[in-house]
Amino acid sequence: MAKDDKKDNTLKLKFDSARNLAPAPESKSIAKIKPQYELFINGSFVKPESGKYFDTINPATEEKLSQVAEASPADVDKAIKSAKSAYQKVWSKMPGKERAKYIFRISRMIQEKAREFAVVESLDGGKPIRESRDFDVPTAANHFFYYAGWADKLNYAFPTKTPRPVGVASQIIPWNFPLLMAAWKIAPALATGNTVVLKSAETTPLTALMLAELIQEADLPPGVVNIITGAGETGAAMVSHPDTDKIAFTGSTDVGKIIQKAVASTHKKVTLELGGKAANIIFDDAPLDQAVEGVINGIFFNQGHVCCAGSRLYVQESVYDIVLRKLKDRLETLIVGDPLDKNTDIGAINSRGQLETIQKYLKIGVQEGGEIYQSSCPLPKKGFFCSPTLFTNVSQSSRIAQEEIFGPVLSILTFRTEDEVIEKANNTPYGLSAGVWTDKGSKIFNMTTKLRAGVVWANTFNKFDPTSPFGGFKESGFGREGGLHGLMPYLHLD
């Protein structure tokens, strides 16, 4: 038997055994999903003025999970007025150390309900339970915990200033990290003395509504946090409302631009966390197995539904063949399937619309001359799923190297020198994150100063911590969330 055949057989055995693991599903019984949810306004769950509801489904089965209220502009007005009243009468006057107690309580209660949050997150959004359980939910609790610690120390955070809250924060979040994005937004706003109206994304409202129930149980004064559900028009009504003092938006660059136009020449403070097209860069002196693992994690983690996903890979020419072979081998061991199964690496695409967007880009990639390689892992018959995909023979100007796909699709390009790869990595409209894989510290320092990205990871990828600021350059937005920097957008500092 030739050496390569032998290797192929060994790999085949490895793939088959990975795919034939006995199912290890997390029980759904812990998730107490109600058939219908109302709007959380002024401390109570209230019916929408619109009288309208819309369905949220499980993208892995296409089954309806629940129906949630659609907030009209009249509901938005009610929520913002309740936030304004709570701001003026209670929250802005409460000493920081008292506010901190509530925020700590929210953190602890998320930890107590962690398992239920994780199951509901995976059911509603399609992400593997391993991620919702090990990343989303603990990181959300950590954010509340971290910002609770700042609430009574704002004068120390900004020693030469007099920090004052801004007022009512309208916060709009996307569907890729529903609970975590709610935590990123609500925790710093409360710590700095602001009140909140938060809108979740249409396809993933359930964990935000569970958070509303938890906040009610935590006895937060009514109106300090209001959580509403609805469509793009609901978000637009929040942005244009005259009593909104601060807008915190995470979502697409297109909607970010609409928001920026809408608030031009108003008093509203804005932070925008938008799209990305991150470059992961492998130099020939990098620990290659570690780098390949980081690249796989960087793009296939959460089905590629990650703004900072490493969706472009730049490999130094001398190690291109070996890196490509390792990537293809690793792709074959990934398991695509039931998000609730603990063996699953890649869960369901969040919606039919997003799956169609990804499929459109797969076609564009091929039409542009890219060579496509997809894992042979079988896909479930029902639900929205996509095979992990590699594209080689991609040019720098290809649309799949320039535009955000937001799916498990990696475009692979090559380079020869440091200067060349810096030029290529920076050559997109985005600048959210990047990754560098090398054995040399000096190369890391050179790259981190020249890559125009808000976060540059070195010999790792997709690592998050509440103490560390996150945000974009260029069309990836502005303002920072996380860390001490994350307090600033919620304060007047004069």
CA 391 from centroid of its chain's CA atoms = 24
| Contact partner at residue 124 from Mg ion, ligand NAP, none, CB < 5 to 8 Å by partner kind | Mg ion
Give yes or no for residue 406 binding ligand NAP (CB under 6 A).
Answer: yes
Q: CA-CA distance, 91 to 89, in Å (whole number)?
A: 7
What's the number of CA atoms in the CB half-sphere (13 Å) around residue 361? 25
Whether 238 and 270 have beta carbons less than 8 Å apart is answered as no
Q: Pick the binder of ligand NAP from 11, 18, 157, 231 (CB under 6 A).
A: 231
Give yes or no for residue 80 binding ligand NAP (CB under 6 A).
Answer: no
Decide if 307 is catalytic: yes
Which one, of 128, 481, 486, 144, lies nearest residue 305 by Cα? 128
The residue with tokens 């042979």 is 376
Catalytic site residue from 307, 308, 377, 386: 307
Give yes or no for residue 15 binding ligand NAP (CB under 6 A).
Answer: no
Burial label for 416, CB within 10 Å (0-12, 13-18, 19+), is exposed
Q: Pick the binder of ligand NAP from 183, 236, 286, 401 (CB under 6 A).
A: 236
| Contact partner at residue 370 from Mg ion, ligand NAP, none, CB < 5 to 8 Å by partner kind | none
Q: Pick the binder of ligand NAP from 11, 114, 214, 258 (CB under 6 A).
A: 258
Residue span binding ligand NAP (CB under 6 A) among the ranges 16-24, 247-255, 295-303, 393-401: 247-255
Decide if 273 is catalytic: yes
> Using CB under 6 A, which residues numbered 161 to 220 contact ligand NAP?
172-176, 199, 201-202
Q: What is the DSSP letter of 134?
A: I
* H helix intervals, 371-466: 399-402, 418-426, 441-450
E strand segments, 302-343: 312-316
Indicate the residue among 207 and 250 with the shorter CB distance to Mg ion: 207
* CA dist list (Å): 98 to 1, 60, 129, 220, 254: 73, 43, 35, 11, 39
Give yes or no for residue 370 binding ligand NAP (CB under 6 A).
Answer: no
Q: By Cβ distance, which residue is nearest to ligand NAP?
A: 235
Residue span binding ligand NAP (CB under 6 A) among the ranges 59-67, 68-76, 214-222, 472-480: 472-480
| Binding stretches for Mg ion (CB under 5 A) | 56, 124, 203
Give yes or no for residue 275 binding ligand NAP (CB under 6 A).
Answer: yes
Residues 6+ apart with CB under 8 A from 80: 168, 170, 197, 226, 238, 241, 243, 244
Which residues are the active-site residues?
273, 307
Task: Point out which residues bind ligand NAP (CB under 6 A).
Answer: 172-176, 199, 201-202, 231-232, 235-236, 239, 250-252, 255, 258-259, 273-276, 307, 404, 406, 432, 472, 476-477
